[in-house]
């Protein structure tokens, strides 16, 4: 498992607003897990969709899961507006 590459990618996403935007667009794809992995590969990170998901699952306190009502709650809106996109994306992934 390429846990290190996943961690490096997730760290880069938290630091790079442009990458956050690209990831948000990738998450709109029908196969969002593959789209997120393809984006990571484009930026030089090598891991599989399953490795990405496994690492997110290992971080429950960092990636709170919320019911998918189709609407963003206040915390999710703040996360997106504040630039910390990972918890929002983790709660919206259709994996």
**pLDDT on residue 38:** 96
How many domains does the chain divide into? Answer: 1
**pLDDT on residue 37:** 94
Higher pLDDT, 81 or 20: 20
pLDDT tens digits, residue range 67-78?
554 555 555 555
What is the extent of the structural domain holding 20?
3-92
| 3-state SS class at 25 | helix
**pLDDT on residue 95:** 46
Instruction: Provide mean pLDDT across the span 53-81.
Output: 61
DSSP letters, 61-94, are TTS------SS--HHHHHHHHTT--HHHHHHH--
**pLDDT on residue 46:** 96
Cβ-contact 79, 87 below 8 angstroms: yes
């Amino acid at each position: 498992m390429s846990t290190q590459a996943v961690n490096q990618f997730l760290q880069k996403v938290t630091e790079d607003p442009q990458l956050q935007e690209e990831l948000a667009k990738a998450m709109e794809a029908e196969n969002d897990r593959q789209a997120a992995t393809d984006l990571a590969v484009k930026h030089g990170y090598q891991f599989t969709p399953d490795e990405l998901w496994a690492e997110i699952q290992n971080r429950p306190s960092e990636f709170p899961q919320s019911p998918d009502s189709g609407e963003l709650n206040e915390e999710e809106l703040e996360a997106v507006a504040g630039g910390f996109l990972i918890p929002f994306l983790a709660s919206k992934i259709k994996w």
